[in-house]
Structure 1
Amino acid sequence: MKIACLEHLLPGDRLQDKWEFALRAGYDAIELRGRGGYGFRQRLPELRRAVRDGVVLPMVSVDMRHFLGAFDRELRRDALDQVKSQLSVMADIGGRGVVTPASRGMFSLQLPPFRPPRSAEGDREVLVEGLTELGRHAEKEGVRLFLEPLNRYEDHMVNRLDRAAELVRWVGAAGLCMGGLGVAVDTFHLNIEEDDPAAALRAAGRLVGHVLVADSNGFQPGAGHLEWPSVLGALSGVGYDGFLTVKCRLRGDEVAAVASVPAFLRSR
């Protein structure tokens, strides 16, 4: 079992310092955060130095104010261009790819006014167009783009694994992009949206290319009631061999909490 941790959860100022702590705690990699304003591209010299020093950096999670599913055309264009830049940076440092949701905090059908300014058909058209462009760029760079479903309060377009898998499969089947796309799973959102998390993972199968882990309450694994043996068993059953990246809030002493996760997951 390979376990990674998002960089901001690890103590230390430099990636090399964070890596020393990560290794002592039992982590195998550090996952990066891709800020907006092309901030991730500006970190390229730092990232290259870290890789030369032995830091394992397989993935980046997009952390911007707008995403590929934005309502505004100019914001969508900016999001696509920035994610393409992040895909290129990951290719440069030998990483695996980029994780992004369709949107975050843009609209929820659970909150007023309850009716989005774009139809479901319009949502699909925008997502297919964006995923096609990003998937083609990822293929060209030799990395992958992973679409992450979020819960119903954070996004109205892609909440469940079957929705993300359907979009990825459709783009691939249409010949628009063959190998540049996959699905990312976040166990916090999985717990909220899926009737049977393990069954949802089995249905998505080999499309699951990256996994982010938090417990049922959003805190570190072990702080909630998620059925970890069931979830991890399902991932093993579909042949998932990627990283489990810790992406959560921390309860209790933060350093002790983040240090506790690898042993907890490996004991399940």
Structure 2
Amino acid sequence: MNMICVQEQHLPGESMEEKWDIAQEWGFDGIELRGKGDFGFRERLPELRRAAARGIPMPTVCVEMMHFIGAFDAEQRQDAIVQMKSLLDVMAEIGGRGAMTPASYGMFSDRLPPFVSPRSTEEDRKVLIDGLGQVGAHAATLGVELYLEPLNRYENHMVRRLDDAVSLIKEIGLDSVKVAADTYHMNIEEADPAAALLAAGPYIGHVQASDSNRLEPGSGHIDWALFGSTIRAIGYTGPIALESRLSGPAQDVLPASPVLLRRFL
């Protein structure tokens, strides 16, 4: 059975223990962490070690920075690689599964002016193969995984569909690098989200759930029954984490989400 997780920023409480109490009360099975840059996540290691020792499930971390491994600037790319390795170090230390990253976010969209990227498609791919390869190799030495998340056309221009991510992962050739499938981005980019998920099935390492309007599941028009049957069809048994904005106060709207998802998983 899939673990249904909620991202930590939605949970009230000063400590992970307090947040976990609320997460369980709202029907969740685990907490997805957020990993800030400048080694902010590493600085939380004592807190996270304590939480892990107390049995709080924290399987994944979503990086929270403004530059990523596909950045145009070489120094920013290198920093993103270093930060991702640090996130993976922490996740290995606390018994987690892995960390996810997009290729980029908010850096450039070919659907918005000026429409022409300063870097060619071939150069984009070379940069991503290098960065993902470095971080993926580090993940392999730690026994954890790196998850590449495709983002929609308005947030990123390099990796937008699941098959874009799969193509890169095949070329890298590391079992430690997998795809993070996000239902919101799939709703925009995939002509047939279920078929895309089926095709990418062997490479799916993590799943994030939010509705078509980026709000919590049940607030939009995603077909959650089809989503659930597709997850079962590909044999994915890992965590499903809510990464969404909220349609109202967390305590009012979030408890319905795990109920909805479990109905179809």
1:65: how far off? 1.2
User: 1:185 — aligned with what?
Assistant: 181
Q: 1: distance between equivalents of 2:249 and 2:38? A: 33
Partner of 1:56: 57
2:16 maps to 15
Do the aligned partners of 1:10 and 1:258 also contact (CA within 8 Å) in 2? no
Structure 2 distance, partners of 1:259, 1:18, is 14
2:208 equivalent in structure 1: 212
Q: 1:199 aligns to what?
A: 195
C-alpha distance in structure 2 between counterparts of 1:130 and 1:139, whole Å: 14
Secondary structure at the counterpart of residue 34 of structure 1 = strand
Aligned residue in 2 for 1:67: 68
CA distance in 2, matches of 1:108, 1:227: 28
State the Cα distance separating 1:116 from its structure 2 match: 0.7
Q: Where in structure 2 are there 5+ consecutive unaligned residues?
A: none
- What SS does the aligned partner of 1:250 have? coil
Amino acid at match of 2:194: A
Superposed CA deviations along residues 9-49 of structure 1, whole A, max 9, x for unmatched, are 11222111110111122211100001011100000001001
User: Following the alignment from structure 2 to structure 1, what is the Cα–Cα distance between the partners of residues 104 and 163?
Assistant: 17
Q: Which residue of 1 aligns with 2:127?
A: 126
Letter in 2 for 1:44: L
Report the equivalent of 1:175: none
Q: CA separation in 2, counterparts of 1:23 and 1:253?
A: 17
Q: What code does the residue aligned with 1:100 have?
A: T
Q: How does 1:152-171 map to 2 (within 5 A)?
A: 152-171=153-172
CA–CA separation in structure 2 for the residues paired with 1:137 and 1:188? 29
Give the one of 236, 239, 242 matched to 1:240: 236
Give the aligned partner of residue 80 of structure 1. Answer: 81
Partner of residue 89, structure 1: 90
Measure the CA separation in 1 of the matches of 2:16 and 2:254: 16
CA–CA separation in structure 2 for the residues paired with 1:206 and 1:216: 25
Tell me how far 1:252 sits from its aligned partner. 2.3
Q: Look up the equivalent residue of 1:204 and give its one-letter code.
A: A
Q: Counterparts of 1:115 and 1:232 in 2: how far apart (Å)?
A: 38
SS across alignment from 1:218: coil
Q: Which runs of 4+ in 1 moved over 2 A?
A: none
Letter in 1 for 2:187: N
Code of the residue aligned with 1:69 in structure 2: it is G
Match status 1:100 vs 2:96: no
1:246-265 map, 5 Å? 246-265=242-261
Letter in 2 for 1:61: C
- Structure 2 distance, partners of 1:204, 1:103, is 21
Structure 1 unpaired stretches of 5+: 173-177
Distance, in Å, in 1 between the alignment partners of 2:145 and 2:261 is 26
Q: What whole-Å deviation, never above 9, does each CA across 1:162-216 have from its counterpart, x for those lacking one?
A: 00011011111xxxxx221000011000100000000000000121110000000
Instruction: Give the distance between the partners of 1:219 and 1:229, measured in 2 at CA.
Output: 17
SS of equivalent to 2:86:
helix
Greater shift, 6-15 or 91-100, is seen at 6-15
- Measure how far apart 1:254 and its partner are: 2.2
Q: Identity across aligned pairs (percent)? A: 52
Task: Tell me if the contact between 1:34 and 1:86 (Cα under 8 Å) persists in the aligned partners.
Answer: yes
**How many angstroms apart in 1 are the aligned matches of 2:84 and 2:249?**
34
